[in-house]
A and B are shown apart, each in its own frame.
Chain A
Amino acid sequence: DIVMTQSPDSLPVSLGERATINCKSSQTILHSSNNKNALAWYQRKPGQPPKLLIYWASTRESGVPDRFSGSGSGTDFTLTISSLQAEDVAVYYCQHYHSNPITFGQGTRLEIK
């Protein structure tokens, strides 16, 4: 199984500052069908189900603010929030979908410093 490891586990960031969350896969997740990295990012706020933010590593889901961006290749990926807003406090998960079994990172808790 592909193991997804996120860092850090917890990230305190000041309002208006940049937040960067890392995700590392134990092997390449480049999808042969389209030569894109099969990686998604989700945001989970307390009491709510997770919300899709990014797929194919860098494609922003419709309606997601453009302060959220995804990047990376090979086995190293990053979710960046360019200017942290109060409503961005949540747990963030990465997930690969290269092959079954799909697996998730353990989550990164983003908080206000």
Chain B
Amino acid sequence: EGQLLESGGGLVQSGGSLRVSCVASGFTFSSHAMTWLRQAPGKGLEWVSGISGSGGSTYYADSVKGRFTIFRDNSKNTLFLQMNSLRAEDTAEYYCVKDPTTVTTGYFDLWGRGTLVTVSS
């Protein structure tokens, strides 16, 4: 079935940078598109960014475009989200999720438990 384990969250000052990671196991990582979602305290789930299985196609929410970069290392079964110019409104639990196909279908059949990013102003 597989497992996703996020890490790298923490406290960072507004304007700072942080990189969160997600290590995948139990499935062929390169055969699946991956996505980052987030949920701010007391708010709903928000799509942040997606990437195809090869890494050749990436997608971003308008709220993070130009500040966040999604990438993957298929040799290490790891997904990354590089977050720059962080703002208080980026404070959230960040979830790594797996798409059932190589291209981004858009629904998610495996979720990680999340890593908390807190941006202090």
Beyond A100-B47, A106-B44, whether A38 also contacts B106 by CB under 8 A is: yes
B contacts with A, residue count (CB < 8 A):
20
- Residues of A close to B35: CB separation below 8 A: 102
A contacts with B, residue count (CB < 8 A):
22
Look across to chain B and name the residue whose beta carbon is closest to the beta carbon of A103.
B47
From A42, A49, A98, A102, name the one whose CB has the most chain B CB atoms within 10 angstroms: A102
- Distance to closest chain B CB from A47 (angstroms): 9
In Å, the complex CA distance between A98 and B113 comes to: 25
- Residues of A close to B107: CB separation below 8 A: 38, 40, 52, 55, 95, 97
- Residues of B close to A103: CB separation below 8 A: 47
Mark each residue of chain B from 94 to 116: 1 if its CB lies under 8 Å from any CB of chain A, else 0. 01000000000111111111100
| Among candidates A38, A97, A98, A104, residue contacting B45 with C-beta atoms closer than 8 Å | A104
Tell me which residues from 93 to 110 in chain A have a Cβ below 8 Å from any Cβ of chain B: 93, 95, 97-98, 100-107
- Residues of B close to A61: CB separation below 8 A: 109
Do B112 and A104 have beta carbons less than 8 Å apart?
A: no
Q: Is B61 an interface residue (CB 8 A)?
A: yes
Give the interface SS of chain A, mostly helix, strand, loop or mixed.
loop
| Among candidates A49, A50, A95, A101, residue contacting B62 with C-beta atoms closer than 8 Å | A101
- Residues of B close to A98: CB separation below 8 A: 106
Do B44 and A97 have beta carbons less than 8 Å apart?
A: no
Do B44 and A104 have beta carbons less than 8 Å apart?
A: yes
- Which residues of A come within 8 Å of B, CB atoms? 38, 40, 42, 48-52, 55, 61, 93, 95, 97-98, 100-107
Question: 24 interchain pairs (CB within 8 A)?
Answer: A38-B106, A38-B107, A40-B106, A40-B107, A40-B108, A49-B95, A49-B111, A52-B107, A52-B109, A52-B110, A55-B107, A93-B45, A97-B107, A100-B47, A100-B59, A100-B61, A101-B47, A101-B61, A101-B62, A102-B35, A102-B47, A104-B44, A105-B44, A107-B44
